[in-house]
Structure 1
Amino acid sequence: MTEQQRVLGFFGGSGVYSMDALENPQRLEIDTPWGQPSDALVKGKLSGVDVVFLARHGAGHTLPPSNVNYRANVDAMKRAGVTDLVSVSACGSFRDELAPGTFVIVDQFIDRTSAREKSFFGPGFVAHVSMADPVCPALAFALATSCAALDIPHQRGGTYICIDGPHFSSRAESHLYRSWGCDVIGMTNMPEAKLAREAELPYASVAMVTDYDCWREHDGPVEVGLILETLKQNTANAARLIADLAPRLGATRRPSPLGVETALDMAVITPPEARDPEIMKKLDAVAGRFLKR
C-alpha cells in the first residue's frame, strides 16, 4: 500500500467530550450492524487533516464503561473512513513517577474485562488476530513527540490493565496489579484495541493519569470528587495534544510498521465456502478489504 489520505479518529474518554477546534464540523449519525455507537460522530478538519471524533461515554457521560458499545464505535469509525485511531482516556497510576497530570503513551494491555463483546468474529466466521504488539509504533512516536514539544509530562511506553468497573479497585487488587508490572489502570481501552486490530485500524492510546489508584494508602481511597480538578487540567492538555498531533502526522499516511492494514490476511481461518453469509454482511465495513480480495 502506498500513501493515502489520512482520516484521524479520536475516541474521547472521561473529560474529553468534544473537539471545539474542529473546522466545519459535521455530525454523522451512523447505524451499524452491531447497534448504535455511543453518540453521533463529529467530522471536520484540523490544520488540513480530516478528523473524526466520538465521545466514548456519550454526551453528558451517560454510559458506564461496560455499557459502551465498543463494536459499534469501531465499526462506525471504519464506516466514516477513519484510517488511524487514537484513544484518549483517564487512568489511575501504579508508579510514584507517574503523577496525576502525566500522559502515558501505552504500548501494552492486560485485559481483565469479562462482561463485554470482544470480537466482530464468532461462530460461522472465525478469525484470530495477533495482539502481541497492540499499539502502532508510528502513532505512539508522534504522540510522544507532541507531548515533548508541548511540555506535557509524559512517558513513552507502559502497560495498561483494563477492568470492567464501574467500581475502582480494592487495595488488594491495586497491590496485585502493581506486582504484575502494570503501570496504569483504566476501564475502556479493552476490547477497543482488539476490535481496532480486527478492523485493520492502527491504534494508539494516551492514558491521562488522574490519581494513584489506592495502593498508596496514605493518599486515601480514589473518589470522583478528588480527580475532577486533575481531569480539567488533563482535558486542556489533551486538546493541545490533539491540535499538535494532527499536523504532525499530516494529511497523508503510509502503512503502519506493524502491517495492521492487512491484519486479517493472517487471521481468518474459516474458508470462504464455510463462512456464514449473515456474519459476512455484518463485516462489510470492518473486514471489507479482506472480503473483496
Structure 2
Amino acid sequence: MSTPSSSAEVGVIGGSGFYSFLDDAEEVIVDTPYGPPSDPITIGELAGRRVAFVPRHGRDHRFPPHRIPYRANLWALRSLGVRQVLAPSAVGSLTPDHGPGTLAVPDQLTDRTRNRTQTYYDDGAAIHISFSDPYCPAGRQTVLASARTAGWPPVDGGTLVVIEGPRFSTRAESKWFAAQGWTLIGMTGHPEAVLARELALCYTPLCLVTDFDAGVEEGEGVTMEEVYRVFGENIDRLRTLVTDVIASLPAERTCPCPRTLDGMKLPLELP
C-alpha cells in the first residue's frame, strides 16, 4: 500500500527510456479496486516536483496494448496525489506531412478499439462526462511552449485515432483513417485519456512519430523494428522535453479538468 509520504503531484505514463529518469526514486506498491497497475509505481524528484512514473506496458513489456490495466494505472496515480498526467507515446503518421521524429500534440481523439473497458462508472449510476475536448488545454500549451523553446517545433493539433492492436493497420484501413482527416495513429491513447477525465485529472499526450502508417507510403509497411529504432533515436530528446514540461506545468490547475465531476453523484469514492 502507498503511504502519505509516498506522494506525487505529476504522473508520467511511458515506456522504455523513462525508468531511470527520476532522482532519489522509490518503488511504491499501490492496491486498487481494479487490480495492480502495470508495475510498482516509481516516485522521485524531477525539476523540483514530486513525480510518479508507471511503465505503461510493464517493465518487461508484457502487456500488449489491449491488455494494459488502464483503470488500475490511472487510479493508482490519483491515489498517490497525482492530478496532472503526461503521456509520451510512439505513434504512426497518417499524413506525409509528419515524418518520423516529429513531435505532435493532438487536440482530438477517435476511438477505434473494441474490447477495452473505458469507464469507472459502469455500475450504480449513469455518469456522463464531457469529452468534447479530450486533452488538458493547459497541459497542451505547456508542452507546445516547452518544445518550441527546446528547438523541437511541434505539430499543434490533429486527431489521434486509437486502434485495438496489437497488429498494425492494413493499407485499406490506414487509407480510410487518413480519408477521415485523422493525422496520427496509436494503440494506447484510449482509454487512458477518458479514464483520466473520469478521475478529473489533467491528461496531456506527447506523441513521437516513429513511422508512416501502411497507407501513406508504398513499401514494406510498419514494422516493430522500425518503431523501436526511431523511438530509441529520439528517447533522450523526449525525456528531456518531459522534464522541461514538468518544470513548467502550472502549480495551480485553472483549466476545466478539475471541475469535470462537479455536481455529479458518483457511485464510488475517488481516492
Higher helix share: 1
The alpha carbon displacement at 1:249 in A equals 2.1
Q: Secondary structure at the match of 2:238?
A: helix
Amino acid at match of 2:270: D
Q: Secondary structure at the match of 1:11?
A: strand
Which structure's CA Rg is the greater one?
A: 1
Point out the more displaced range, 84-93 or 227-236. 227-236
Matched with 1:254 is 252
Query: For residues 99 and 217 of structure 1, do their structure 2 counterparts lie closer, same or farther at Cα, with a shift above 3 Å needed?
Result: closer
The alpha carbon displacement at 1:180 in A equals 0.7
Work out the percentage of aligned pairs sharing the same amino acid.
Answer: 34
Matched with 1:229 is 229
Amino acid at match of 1:38: S
Matched with 2:262 is 265
Alignment of 1:194 onto 2:197: no
Point out the more displaced range, 227-236 or 67-76. 227-236
Alignment of 1:9 onto 2:11: yes
Q: Secondary structure at the match of 1:115?
A: coil
Whole-Å separation in 1 of the counterparts to 2:255 and 2:71: 25
Kindly tell me the number of residue pairs found equivalent between the two proteins. Answer: 265
Whole-Å separation in 1 of the counterparts to 2:95 and 2:30: 40
Whole-Å separation in 1 of the counterparts to 2:136 and 2:217: 35
Matched with 2:3 is none
Deviations 1:24-54 (A, max 9, x none): 1111110100111001111111121111111
Whole-Å separation in 2 of the counterparts to 1:219 and 1:152: 28
Whole-Å separation in 2 of the counterparts to 1:219 and 1:105: 27
Q: Secondary structure at the match of 1:92?
A: strand
Q: How does 1:1-293 map to 2 (within 5 A)?
A: 7-13=9-15, 15-18=16-19, 20-249=20-249, 253-258=251-256, 260-268=257-265, 280=268, 283-285=269-271
The alpha carbon displacement at 1:247 in A equals 1.7
TM-score, structure 1 length as denominator? 0.86
Structure 2: segments with no counterpart, 5+ residues: 1-6
Q: Secondary structure at the match of 1:52?
A: strand
Q: Is the 8 A contact 2:47 2:244 kept in 1?
A: no
Whole-Å separation in 1 of the counterparts to 2:224 and 2:202: 32
The alpha carbon displacement at 1:220 in A equals 2.4
Q: Secondary structure at the match of 1:10?
A: strand
The alpha carbon displacement at 1:248 in A equals 1.8
Whole-Å separation in 1 of the counterparts to 2:17 and 2:128: 32
Deviations 1:202-245 (A, max 9, x none): 11101110000111342321111122220112211111111211
Q: Is the 8 A contact 2:66 2:165 kept in 1?
A: yes
Q: Secondary structure at the match of 2:148?
A: helix
Q: Is the 8 A contact 1:136 1:256 kept in 2?
A: no
Q: Is the 8 A contact 1:158 1:182 kept in 2?
A: yes
Whole-Å separation in 1 of the counterparts to 2:60 and 2:8: 29
Deviations 1:171-215 (A, max 9, x none): 000000001111100000101100000000011101110000111
Structure 1: segments with no counterpart, 5+ residues: 286-293
Query: For residues 79 and 95 of structure 1, do their structure 2 counterparts lie closer, same or farther at Cα, with a shift above 3 Å needed?
Result: same
Give RMSD over aligned pairs.
Answer: 1.7
Query: For residues 179 and 151 of structure 1, do their structure 2 counterparts lie closer, same or farther at Cα, with a shift above 3 Å needed?
Result: same
Q: Is the 8 A contact 1:129 1:266 kept in 2?
A: no
Whole-Å separation in 1 of the counterparts to 2:146 and 2:76: 27
Deviations 1:121-163 (A, max 9, x none): 0131221101001111111111111111112242111110001
